[in-house]
Structure 1
Amino acid sequence: MPPQADRVLPDRLLFYCRPGFEADMASEITAQAEALGWIGRAEGQAQSGFVQFVALEDRPINEFHRDLLLARLIFARQSLVALPPLTMSRDDRLAPIVEQVVAAGWSFEAVWHETPDTNEGKALAGLIKALTRPLESALRKRGGLRRKAGGRRLHLFWTDGDCVQLGMSFPGNRSELPGGIRRLRFPKGAPSRSTLKLEEAWHEFIPRDEWEIRLAEGMQAADLGAAPGGWTWQLVERGMHVFAIDNGPIDKMLLATGMVEHLREDGFVWEPPQRLDWLVCDIVDKPARVTAMMLRWLERRWCREAVFNLKLPMKRRWQEVTRCLLMLQEGLDQAGVTVELRCRHLYHDREEVTVHVRLLD
């Protein structure tokens, strides 16, 4: 480890997000920083796909990272403790990276090369492939890459061929997916690509070892705004019986399974005949109206778990999301309903966020 005077200390956090949502990510991090007593500034260029929070006080930034759980953030795909961006000569990209790792005193068990989720980022794939093995070899020789390093991972975030930012992630507070992106294959037979939203939501909100219990065959579910049946298809694939509520048509193959009862009714006013295991909803409407409908379902305990999307406005999306979540949480508290509530902007979402609620009583 280099002498303390020569060390390069991390002074910021780096967050990946969907391009176009940098302002929302910055607003969220700023609010979280204020709540946790941190002074700093959130910086993010429009359509860049990432945001940085630069600390403006003399405290170890990893303390903020430890308290800021990625799973509780809405717009972040990945969360890293980071060093300032590094600009290199294209004649020698490896040496500056290795020297910064050594100067930081960091060591890792793995190295991940990542880019923003943009066309410019994807164009760097060839360069990254060429650098991967030589860089890992150089890091091993200098002690930066070793077999046991507490599960720490080095992330090289490439924004250009001569610009990279070094970040570090820790087990338990990071995405285990490259770029924080869960890429799912469109299933054969599903009637619409929206099916991937619900599949990703299950991966995000329900531990895989609980699927057989919480997404079990024989359960009953409702899909509000079901047409043409993308979300209903996921429920049927898990062996659930589904009330598909929509005035529009449902896929004929789905109806032929005998697992779906299609009711041509308004999802905002329909009531289930008995308590259901699941409610899912991807209705295109104002987020406050959808939230009010979800609150009515949950207050009356008409379902045990729910996944629903909130379509966001073009501006002040963070503010609208927090307003809806606060309305939902306060309403449930007043009704004496205890829940587990999470909200994430998933990869297969676009101008929306996905909310999961599980009743705990």
Structure 2
Amino acid sequence: MDLLFYCRGGYEADLLAELEQALGQKGLFGYAKMSKNSAFLRYCLPQHNAQPYSLESLKAINEQVPTLEKLVFARQKLHVLADIEFDSEDRISTLLKMFDAHALPMFSDVFVEYPDSEEGKQLAKFCKKFTVPLRNKLRQQGHLHKKPSNNQPFLHLFFQQSGKCIVAISIVNDRSLHHLGIQRLKMPSAAPSRSTLKLEEAIHLFFNERQASALFSQGMRAADLGACPGGWTYQLIQRKIVVEAVDHGEIAENLMATGLVEYYSQDGFLYKPQHSNVDWLVCDMIEQPTRVSELMLQWLETGKANACIFNLKLPMNKRHKVVAPILSRLEKALNDRFSEIVIKAKHLYHNRDEISVLIIVNTQMISSYKENKR
């Protein structure tokens, strides 16, 4: 049984280290097939090598391996069904033969994908052209539902070259719904910096629409440490949240004109909230990750913040080795202090050498988060 993961190019080793640690804790061991900067990782679990696979057996295996949500460095998680090499230009007929040979379920949709690497991007045009005729043919043959649904499995064709692909399946509630596992966002014209996309993507990833609407609402207060020129502040005021913007730099004038921004020219590590506490603390300061994480922990433990989203800057190598103990320290300290917490971390598409972390400790906010989960 092989698993296929997508990631940012250059982070394959970090994803492997993270995956092996998580699998080892469950007594599962295997081996990886990967290369540096390939932007994907294939992992074989010899314990589960029975063929052919049923959807039920795939779901059973999936429950034993880490979820995509738990893997910081993975963008997508798939189960490999077959490897196909095309000996003619009629790729669709070759794929249909695979359907005839295996008892595959009906799929909700098909994604024709490629590595998010310079080499992979050369396949983008081919994959885009191939998707529509393939989707139409699969529907004609009864292999795809007429309308896509997030409650059904997706079929994925992952091309490394035009004559060769990995056929895989993604499991409901344990996958990214986006092509290549990447949520594309449009840069807002009024935002003062592209860093705004980091917080926007984090909110989209960590919350569904109902959760985001409930947890980022008018009347809330937030503190943005290292705010200037205001990329993250922009996302908060779009949600009608009053922001205490803290930085020695300058906040964009159009943000100040909204009346929702209170500017404080102070050191983010020394700042205290104006009204004893805030609903949200956000931080994208360029600082050592341990120093930032300890600052976030202090705000949460002392009640100065109910929840936070922050970025941890990473070293050039062995990022998992740096990140894992920091996340473990945060989780343990907060579990010792609070009856319940929400903590998530992800290497986002709009991040570079950094990860984004969400933590909620406020009881009411956690209840709202859970109530609006579905």
Check whether TM > 0.5: yes
Q: Counterpart of 2:123?
A: 124
1:147 to partner: Cα distance: 5.2
Once the two structures are superposed, the pairs formed by residues 295-314 of structure 1 within 5 Å of their partners are 295-314=297-316
1:45 to partner: Cα distance: 1.1
Indicate the RMSD between aligned Cα atoms, in angstroms.
2.1
Conserved 8 A contact 2:112-2:130 = no
Secondary structure class of the residue paired with 2:20: helix
- Structure 1 CA distance, aligned partners of 2:169 and 2:190? 41
Give the unaligned 5+ runs of structure 2: 50-56, 364-374
Q: Counterpart of 2:257?
A: 256
Q: Counterpart of 1:25?
A: 15
Q: Counterpart of 2:60?
A: 63
1:354 to partner: Cα distance: 0.2
- Structure 1 CA distance, aligned partners of 2:86 and 2:145? 25
1:138 to partner: Cα distance: 4.8
Secondary structure class of the residue paired with 1:83: strand
Tell me whether 209-218 or 332-341 shows the greater mean CA deviation.
332-341
Tell me whether 79-88 or 211-220 shows the greater mean CA deviation.
79-88
Conserved 8 A contact 2:308-2:358 = yes
Once the two structures are superposed, the pairs formed by residues 64-79 of structure 1 within 5 Å of their partners are 64-67=61-64, 68-79=66-77
- Structure 1 CA distance, aligned partners of 2:146 and 2:279? 45
Secondary structure class of the residue paired with 2:115: coil
Percent pairwise identity: 39
1:275 to 271, 277, 286: 277
Once the two structures are superposed, the pairs formed by residues 93-112 of structure 1 within 5 Å of their partners are 93-107=91-105, 108-112=107-111
Secondary structure class of the residue paired with 2:19: helix
TM-score w.r.t. the length of structure 1 is 0.91
Secondary structure class of the residue paired with 1:271: coil
Once the two structures are superposed, the pairs formed by residues 90-169 of structure 1 within 5 Å of their partners are 90-107=88-105, 108-136=107-135, 138-140=137-139, 143-146=142-145, 151-169=152-170
Residues 123, 315 of structure 1: CA spacing in aligned structure 2 closer, same or farther, 3 A cutoff? same
Q: Counterpart of 1:346?
A: 348
Secondary structure class of the residue paired with 2:5: strand
1:146 to partner: Cα distance: 4.7
- Structure 2 CA distance, aligned partners of 1:258 and 1:286? 33
Q: Counterpart of 1:6?
A: none
Residues 255, 29 of structure 1: CA spacing in aligned structure 2 closer, same or farther, 3 A cutoff? same
Q: Give deviations 1:207-253, integer Å, cap 9, x for gaps.
A: 21133321111211000011111101111111111111111121122
Secondary structure class of the residue paired with 2:312: strand
Q: Counterpart of 1:47?
A: 37
Secondary structure class of the residue paired with 2:143: coil
Q: Counterpart of 2:52?
A: none
1:63 to partner: Cα distance: 3.1
- Structure 1 CA distance, aligned partners of 2:87 and 2:200? 43
Conserved 8 A contact 1:102-1:142 = no
Secondary structure class of the residue paired with 1:85: strand
Q: Give deviations 1:6-45, integer Å, cap 9, x for gaps.
A: xxxxx20111111111111111111121122212112321
Secondary structure class of the residue paired with 1:106: coil
- Structure 2 CA distance, aligned partners of 1:120 and 1:101? 29
Q: Give deviations 1:314-353, integer Å, cap 9, x for gaps.
A: 1110111111101111222333463100001111111000
Moved over 6 A (4+): none
1:319 to 312, 318, 321: 321
Conserved 8 A contact 1:13-1:65 = no
Residues 118, 35 of structure 1: CA spacing in aligned structure 2 closer, same or farther, 3 A cutoff? same
Paired amino acid for 2:60? E
- Structure 2 CA distance, aligned partners of 1:141 and 1:336? 54
Conserved 8 A contact 2:59-2:171 = no
